Amino acid sequence: MKARVYVMPKAGVLDPQGKAIGHALEGLGFTGLGEVRAGKVIELELAETDPAKAKAQAEEMARRLLANTVIESFRVEVA
């Protein structure tokens, strides 16, 4: 079963990568941009076949390693 973990900086946390991307997009002529935030997506192939158990397992992985929960939030999708 596949799980995707989406990790993003929490609101209020500085995001220099997002700011750099926003600035570069404006330099390329894209207008009307609001705030740009940059995060990461981690795909996991899990042996678990029960969707609820797979989601719980991926959430535990995110809490323990994949996201710094002090400054990042995450969400998990299982397919």
Query: What's residue 77's pLDDT?
Result: 98
Contacts of 39 (CB under 8 A, 6+ apart): 6, 7, 8, 9, 72
Query: What's residue 41's pLDDT?
Result: 98
**19-55: pLDDT as tens digits:** 999 999 999 999 999 999 999 999 999 999 999 999 9
Q: What is the architecture, at CATH level 2, of domain 2-78?
A: 2-Layer Sandwich (3.30)
Residue 13: pLDDT band (50, 70, 90) is very high
Query: What's residue 73's pLDDT?
Result: 98
Percentage of the chain with pLDDT > 70? 100
In three-state secondary structure terms, 77 is strand
Q: Which two tokens stand for residue 34?
A: 């609001």
